[in-house]
Amino acid sequence: MKIDFNNMLEKTIGGHGITETEINTISQRITKVHEQMNAKKGQMAWRALPYNQDEIVKDIVAQGKRINKEFDNFVVFGIGGSALGSKALFTGIKHLKYNELPKEKRGGARFYVVDNVDPDGINALFDIIDVKKTCFHIITKSGNTVETMSQFMIALSMLKDALGDNFKDNIILTTDKEKGILKKISNQYGFKTYTVPDGVGGRFSVLCPVGLLSAAVLNIDIDALFAGAKAMDEACTKESVWENPAYMYAMLMCIAMSNQVNISVMMPYADGLLNMAEWYAQLWAESLGKRVNNDGKDVYCGQTPVRALGVTDQHSQIQLYTEGPFDKVVTFIDVEQFNTTLTVPKTPIDMLDATYIEGQTINKLIASEMRATEYAVTQAGKMNMRITIDKMGAKAIGELFFFFEMATAAAGEFLSIDAFDQPGVEAGKIATFALMGREGYEKKAKELNKADEKDQDFVFQV
Amino acid sequence: MKIDFNNMLEKTIGGHGITETEINTISQRITKVHEQMNAKKGQMAWRALPYNQDEIVKDIVAQGKRINKEFDNFVVFGIGGSALGSKALFTGIKHLKYNELPKEKRGGARFYVVDNVDPDGINALFDIIDVKKTCFHIITKSGNTVETMSQFMIALSMLKDALGDNFKDNIILTTDKEKGILKKISNQYGFKTYTVPDGVGGRFSVLCPVGLLSAAVLNIDIDALFAGAKAMDEACTKESVWENPAYMYAMLMCIAMSNQVNISVMMPYADGLLNMAEWYAQLWAESLGKRVNNDGKDVYCGQTPVRALGVTDQHSQIQLYTEGPFDKVVTFIDVEQFNTTLTVPKTPIDMLDATYIEGQTINKLIASEMRATEYAVTQAGKMNMRITIDKMGAKAIGELFFFFEMATAAAGEFLSIDAFDQPGVEAGKIATFALMGREGYEKKAKELNKADEKDQDFVFQV
């Protein structure tokens, strides 16, 4: 993997780029950042995941084999960090029409991630799967996530109807080692259960059983995935920002943020990596979007991630990126080698001015468009950087996961905030309990109903 | 449809909301905005589309029937405005696992939109379709779009191999009435061809043949789609901002933009509307992202659209939206009635503290979460608004399309910019031609290669 930060700099893009002075100023804080990164290793247990899971991976791979033998479908019930890693693995590594391939070409169960509580969405899934032939992986670290628990309850009841009391083989749970409803249920009823290790937050959990069971069911090479993560770990442990790309990414982004560059566009040039951009969007948003800093001061920190897709979004967003405000960094992800090649052949009709495309590959076209767009954005004086992946596959996916995790943790230190909590989601959870009539939330329910009084001048009915 | 703007206001959300003074100041410009909206009707021929297409719709519906009778698959080749409308129609109205349903339940061909030039993505599609049984709809308004032309050339050649000279029935073209390569090819070879009317820009083209052929193939009720658009047209033609929700939306967003609120999050609470948010993202970004205003002055205008999905992104983005900077407006789209209902049943095991969910519907859960999140964002003092759809379906989709089109056009007038051009995409297109070796672009190719000289201190190899 190669990461090129040149187009972040004033000397390349002009007045809205980062200056040498800015880099010199902030880089004085590197030693402190590095100390904290080492001191907080307990909170960053995800850093050990590529190294300390030999036993569990053996078990997971065996489970994956059992699932693919016994079932036609594998369904993940989870949301946020319990879903996005699996989705990134699925499209990042597997055939892009996997579920529509015949079984012999897939070599495994069809794969679905259900990360919403849309009634039409969930009903649609149940319209196309036979629950008897489906294994459900229920993932909630807290063990209490209302969306996931609801899905679990629906599946349980359908399985009971279809299989009588023999439904346990169709269910696997992943949750905390002791806390939460799901763990209690696991203890009481003896479902096959995996654990989210301590110090592995939801958004950093893809390389533990949360994501690994999906990988196993998908016959993904977990060794290669870990090899990518390890290579990146090695590259991102040095103190010097000149030898540590995660620190460089974090440092330049934090300088940008201090200059009101409040948007981070993640724009891979590969269909399969769009879910990687989604995964990054949670990691970056939830880790750095914080009201208070470590001193308890109000800072209203955070950079809004935007996931974009090359070349598709050139025809949607690039007008804004080139001509609009100087408020964003665009991170291009370039792929040197796709899994396949596709050549535009000689056509049976005269293509007139388009004939120059004949004989060229789609691979060259997408690569050229990436460079062309990077050039246009750079010429427009907008900050951007380029991450180049040698080859689509498990190793590259492992590298990307680990790179962004390290960069996010380091950015938390540069910003002096806690990158590992999410206090801002509590208010919404409590309000949901109130509206769903959960016991003990009656007062909040009243408050919510009061909030519904509106100035009708600002309400339009069509 | 109901639109509630209350949570944009200082009196509701506090110091970061819009004040009465701000509204009074900008509303003095409404008369001018309204005059321009009327004067530019020629550039806004899309406003007539729900009214003036009786003949063409008849032809399109007949084509749809032919396609569903003769083919197993319908594939749209297009990008940007030639793709996003079809995608919004598809998921906004049809079953959410449409392609995986058996044919008798679908009642039509499988439906695919190819809007990228990823070799793995295109190859994956060809792995699962039989080109002989596939109808391809090639859409490019300019007739020259390199991505779409490349896809067309690949399909042409495959069809020739499979069918000999009988490939014409498998191809339908949609392009400008006289300009471009595709039109010339149409004239020369006699493919079935539809026209993008003058004054209908790509991103405003969903209600012309660009989107309508998809609608017909999907058996979507085009009358209902138009009925929604017409209802919204009627609601958005009055001069007074107090009687015109599109003007109100445009006005409040432009006040927000002038206060450095540079992000517009579109967050429907329905899986099927995520593609509507994508469609909006192009409309809003490409129309308002402009370097110069109508006086030729540099303004670097534009608000960055972010598409989010409720409830999914509550577990990804809401931490940032509540605790992060005051730099965004969140537009919630709420659905009163989904196509289906889903009840969480009595489970065969004891669900402990989660038992309160038993007997409640998923419909109530997603609605409660929308309100809960809106409440949390409002309590945090962040601007938001709520669009409520009565019922998922073609009418609502027509309403949304037309509402956002009118709002975008009006915002262009408030900002005094041209909402209908896209000068910023040219540089990238030219650079692509150069890199693909097209004749006449040799000088640009040299320039691009020169731009590749990098300061190696900022390049990392892992």
Cα-Cα-Cα-Cα dihedral sign, residues A178, A179, A185, A186: negative
Task: Judge whether A449 and A441 are in contact, CB under 8 Å.
Answer: no
- Which chain A residue has the Cα nearest residue B98? A124
Q: Bridge-partner residues for A336, per DSSP? A: none
Scanning the structure block, which residue is given the tokens 């040219």? B426
- Would you state the pLDDT for residue A22? 97
Q: CB neighbours of B437 closer than 8 A, spacing ≥ 6?
A: A356, A360, B445
| Cα A100 from Cα A259, distance rounded (Å) | 47
Here the tokens at position B415 are 């900002």
pLDDT in tens, B104-137: 999 999 999 999 999 999 999 999 999 999 999 9
Q: CB neighbours of B175 closer than 8 A, spacing ≥ 6?
A: B139, B140, B141, B142, B143, B182, B183, B186, B193, B195, B196
Read off φ and ψ for residue B79, nearest 5 degrees: -150, 150
Say whether A79 and B146 touch across the interface (CB within 8 A): no
Q: In what order do the strands lie in the sheet with A384-391?
A: A304-307, A263-268, A328-337, A384-391, A2-4, B459-461
Q: How far away is chain B from the Cα of A445, in angstroms, using its nearest Cα? A: 10
E-state strands within A176-320: 192-195, 263-268, 304-307
Whether residue B429 lies in the annotated active site: yes
Whether residue B20 lies in the annotated active site: no
Does pLDDT of A145 surpass 80? yes
Q: Give me the helix-helix angle, B222-235 and B394-414, nearest 10°.
A: 40
Say whether A153 and B347 touch across the interface (CB within 8 A): yes
Here the tokens at position A30 are 């590197």
Q: Residue A288 in 3-state DSSP?
A: helix
Q: How far away is chain B from the Cα of A62, in angstroms, using its nearest Cα? A: 27
| Cα A253 from Cα A406, distance rounded (Å) | 13
Give the pLDDT band of residue A77 (cuts 50, 70, 90).
very high
**% of chain A at pLDDT higher than 90:** 97
Best interface-test mutation with B: which of A84, A205, A313, A462 has the largest number of B CBs within 10 A? A462
A416 touches chain B (CB under 8 A): no
- Rg of the Cα trace of chain B? 24
Task: Just list the catalytic residues of A.
Answer: 286, 315, 429
Does pLDDT of A452 surpass 90? no
- Would you state the pLDDT for residue A329? 98
Task: Judge whether A126 and A159 are in contact, CB under 8 Å.
Answer: no
* Residue in A314, A318, A462 nearest the CB of B232: A462
Give whole-number Cα distances, A122 to A114, A150, A405, B344, B359, in Å.
7, 11, 31, 12, 17
Q: Residue B138 in 3-state DSSP?
A: strand
Q: What is the DSSP letter of A234?
A: H
Please, what is the Cα angle at B402 between B404 and B272, to 5 degrees? 75
CA torsion, ordered A155, A161, A163, A166, to nearest 10 deg: 70
Segment 137-196 of chain A within 8 Å of chain B by CB:
144-147, 149-150, 153-154, 156-157, 160, 165, 167, 181, 184-185, 188-189
Here the tokens at position A312 are 């598709």
Peptide bond into B57 cis (omega under 30): no
**% of chain A at pLDDT higher than 70:** 100
Q: Report the largest interatomic distance among the alpha carbons of chain B, rounded to a whole angstrom.
A: 73
Peptide bond into B311 cis (omega under 30): yes
Read off φ and ψ for residue B301, nearest 5 degrees: -85, 160
Q: What is the pLDDT along chain B (462 residues), one digit of tens a residue?
A: 999 999 999 999 999 999 999 999 998 999 999 999 999 998 899 999 999 999 999 999 999 999 999 999 999 999 999 999 999 999 999 999 999 999 999 999 999 999 999 999 999 999 999 999 999 999 999 999 999 999 999 999 999 999 999 999 999 999 999 999 999 999 999 999 999 999 999 999 999 999 999 999 999 999 999 999 999 999 999 999 999 999 999 999 999 999 999 999 999 999 999 999 999 999 999 999 999 999 999 999 999 999 999 999 999 999 999 999 999 999 999 999 999 999 999 999 999 999 999 999 999 999 999 999 999 999 999 999 999 999 999 999 999 999 999 999 999 999 999 999 999 999 999 999 999 999 999 999 999 888 667 899 999 999
The ipTM value here is: 0.98
pLDDT in tens, B217-244: 999 999 999 999 999 999 999 999 999 9
pLDDT in tens, A251-292: 999 999 999 999 999 999 999 999 999 999 999 999 999 999
| Cα B389 from Cα A163, distance rounded (Å) | 39
Here the tokens at position A314 are 């050139």
Predicted structure pTM score: 0.98
Say whether B357 and A153 touch across the interface (CB within 8 A): yes
pLDDT in tens, A415-431: 999 999 999 999 999 99
Nearest to A163 by CA among A125, A188, A135, A185: A135
Say whether B290 and A118 touch across the interface (CB within 8 A): no
Structural element, H or E, at residue A171: strand A171-175
Q: How far away is chain B from the Cα of A300, in angstroms, using its nearest Cα? A: 4
Q: What is the separation of C-alpha B390 from the centre of its chain, rounded to a whole number of angstroms?
A: 20
Does pLDDT of A151 surpass 80? yes
Does pLDDT of A43 surpass 90? no
Task: Judge whether A413 and A33 are in contact, CB under 8 Å.
Answer: yes
Task: Judge whether A366 and B119 are in contact, CB under 8 Å.
Answer: yes
Average pLDDT over residues A193-206: 97
- Rg of the Cα trace of chain A? 24
- A380: chain B residues, CB-CB within 8 Å: 424, 427
A325 touches chain B (CB under 8 A): yes
- Would you state the pLDDT for residue B449? 85
| Cα A104 from Cα A278, distance rounded (Å) | 30
Average pLDDT over residues A69-97: 98
- A352: chain B residues, CB-CB within 8 Å: 181, 184-185
The alpha helices in A259-361, defined as continuous H runs, are 274-288, 318-323
| Cα B304 from Cα A325, distance rounded (Å) | 9
- B150: chain A residues, CB-CB within 8 Å: 344, 357, 362, 365
Instruction: Give burial (CB, 10 Å; 0-12/13-18/19+) of B359.
Output: exposed
- A324: chain B residues, CB-CB within 8 Å: 285, 289-291, 300-302, 304
Cα-Cα-Cα-Cα dihedral sign, residues A370, A376, A378, A381: negative
| Cα B158 from Cα B132, distance rounded (Å) | 9
Q: How far away is chain A from the Cα of B80, in angstroms, using its nearest Cα? A: 5
